[in-house]
């Protein structure tokens, strides 16, 4: 490919994912614009082409996209009808509006996966709270809003019929409670030419109350049969969705070593942050490569890696003990109005062995507590 610095790339969403994506795009000399409602969004400081507008509003997205050659996303909550219109006008949309729309709705996402014989957690569709009561015999189960869930929001466990009273009332899916041994994520990239590259599966450990990532470790050190199956699933999903870009595929491993897809994110993902320091090509650079037609980069691990999220507690953080360590890498997002319990940054760990990663995770938790 002939490098063209004049290619104008637009990002829908100005959060920390967009900020990290811009920093990779800068290395390619690309012109990046951002659309977000918040003028203090983390990505705003990295571009002089920030547009204040709603990525979920048709008119805002169309007006923004008309100034771009390529439009991509850093969040799912975007207006796909506007993206279809822009594509018809010659703007490249990666990933496609159809892929985004399928993933925006958890039921549509599951139906797509089932249609392509990809294993998912058994579920039933729920329209309202009345239907929840009608399905009380299926409890305990996990209730998930069909749309607009994020970072554990829109997810709740229902253990008995008495829990239904406090459940959200609206379109949802009710998933069978599984005996889960591990949860992993696998990030896969696919270029315009159909080339596919996968990153090593990452083990994710969640806070059981907040449903928010506590820490992660890569590689996940899976048995070879499960690892190979995870790669096969990821490659199949990327191909069947005609992906151009990257997706993160979260999967459950049950006590019986059955692999089930939990959900898909059509964008850079928390579980891939470590690739900035640990891999030759970060997930952010990989997305830039995929959507601009460059060959996909090397995804091998140079180091064993870990990650701990920084969560807003309302207290001042003393991070000096962390930044003084050469194997710890601080990423502070600079969110202007962060809410209690939301992510405000993360710390990546790079070590020569997994034991070192575990030790550093324990050290970080001790510092933060």
Ordered per-residue pLDDT tens for the chain, 369 residues: 555 668 999 999 999 999 999 999 999 999 999 999 999 999 999 999 999 999 999 999 999 999 999 999 999 999 999 999 999 999 999 999 999 999 999 999 999 999 999 999 999 999 999 999 999 999 999 999 999 876 667 899 999 999 999 999 999 999 999 999 999 999 999 999 999 999 999 999 987 776 678 899 999 999 999 999 999 999 999 999 999 999 999 999 999 999 999 999 999 999 999 999 999 999 999 999 999 999 999 999 999 999 999 998 888 888 898 889 999 999 999 898 788 888 899 999 999 999 999 999 999 999 888
What gap in Å lies between CA 302 and CA 295, rounded to an integer? Answer: 20
pLDDT value for 151:
61
Structure-token pair, residue 112? 């797509």
pLDDT value for 57:
99
In sequence order, what are the residues at sequence separation of 6 or more whose Cβ sits closer than 8 angstroms to the Cβ of residue 135? 124, 126, 141, 174
249, 233 contact by CB (below 8 A): yes
pLDDT value for 315:
84
Question: Is 144 annotated in some ligand binding site?
Answer: yes
Question: Is 56 annotated in some ligand binding site?
Answer: no
CA dihedral 133, 139, 141, 144 (to 10 degrees): 0
**Residue ranges of domains in the chain, CATH in brackets:** 8-93 (3.40.50.20), 122-176 (3.30.1490.20), 180-368 (3.30.470.20)
Question: Is 263 annotated in some ligand binding site?
Answer: yes
pLDDT value for 256:
96
CA dihedral 268, 173, 253, 140 (to 10 degrees): 140
CA dihedral 4, 198, 200, 176 (to 10 degrees): 120
What gap in Å lies between CA 158 and CA 173, rounded to an integer? Answer: 12
What gap in Å lies between CA 354 and CA 93, rounded to an integer? Answer: 39
195, 328 contact by CB (below 8 A): no
pLDDT value for 148:
84
pLDDT value for 192:
96
Residue 254 CB neighbour total at 10 angstroms: 14
Residue 115 CB neighbour total at 10 angstroms: 9
**Which pairing describes strands 212-218 and 202-207: parallel, antiparallel, or unpaired?**
antiparallel
Angle CA(255)–CA(259)–CA(261) in degrees, nearest 5? 125
pLDDT value for 29:
93
What gap in Å lies between CA 256 and CA 276, rounded to an integer? Answer: 34
pLDDT value for 150:
65
Question: Is 92 annotated in some ligand binding site?
Answer: no
SS3 helix, strand, coil % of the chain, rounded to 5? 35, 30, 40
DSSP 31-71: EEEEEES-TT-GGGGG-S-EEES-TT-HHHHHHHHTT-SEE
């Amino acid at each position: 490919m002939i490098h063209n610095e004049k290619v104008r790339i637009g990002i829908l969403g100005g959060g920390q994912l967009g900020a990290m994506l811009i920093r990779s795009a800068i290395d390619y000399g690309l012109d990046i614009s951002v659309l977000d409602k918040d003028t203090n969004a983390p990505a705003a400081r990295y571009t002089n082409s920030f547009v204040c507008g709603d990525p979920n509003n048709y008119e805002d997205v169309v007006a923004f996209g008309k100034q771009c050659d390529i439009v991509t996303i850093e969040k799912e909550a975007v207006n796909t009808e506007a993206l279809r219109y822009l594509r018809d006008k010659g703007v490249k949309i990666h990933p496609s509006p159809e892929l985004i729309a399928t993933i925006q709705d958890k039921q549509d996402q599951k139906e797509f996966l089932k249609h392509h014989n990809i294993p998912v957690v058994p579920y039933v569709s729920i329209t309202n709270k009345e239907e929840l009561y009608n399905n009380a015999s299926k409890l305990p189960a996990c209730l998930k809003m069909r749309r607009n869930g994020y970072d554990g929001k829109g997810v709740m466990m229902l253990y008995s019929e008495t829990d239904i009273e406090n459940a959200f009332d609206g379109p949802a899916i009710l998933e069978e409670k599984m005996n889960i041994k591990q949860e992993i994520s696998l990030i896969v990239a696919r270029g315009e030419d159909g080339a596919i590259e996968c990153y090593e599966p990452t083990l994710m450990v969640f806070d059981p109350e907040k449903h928010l990532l506590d820490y992660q470790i890569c590689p996940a050190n899976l048995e070879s049969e499960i690892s190979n199956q995870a790669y096969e699933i990821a490659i199949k999903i990327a191909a069947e969705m005609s992906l151009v870009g990257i997706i993160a595929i979260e999967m459950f491993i049950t006590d019986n070593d059955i692999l089930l897809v939990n959900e898909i994110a059509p964008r850079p993902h928390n579980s891939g942050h470590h690739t900035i320091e640990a891999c030759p090509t970060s997930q952010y650079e990989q997305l830039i490569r995929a959507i601009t037609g460059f060959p996909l980069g090397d995804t091998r691990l140079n180091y064993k890696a870990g990650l701990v999220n920084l969560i807003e507690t309302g207290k001042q953080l003393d991070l000096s003990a962390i930044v003084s360590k050469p194997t710890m890498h601080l990423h502070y997002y600079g969110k202007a109005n962060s809410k209690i319990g939301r992510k405000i940054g993360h710390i990546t760990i790079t070590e020569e062995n997994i034991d070192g990663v575990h030790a550093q995770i324990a050290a970080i938790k001790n510092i933060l507590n």
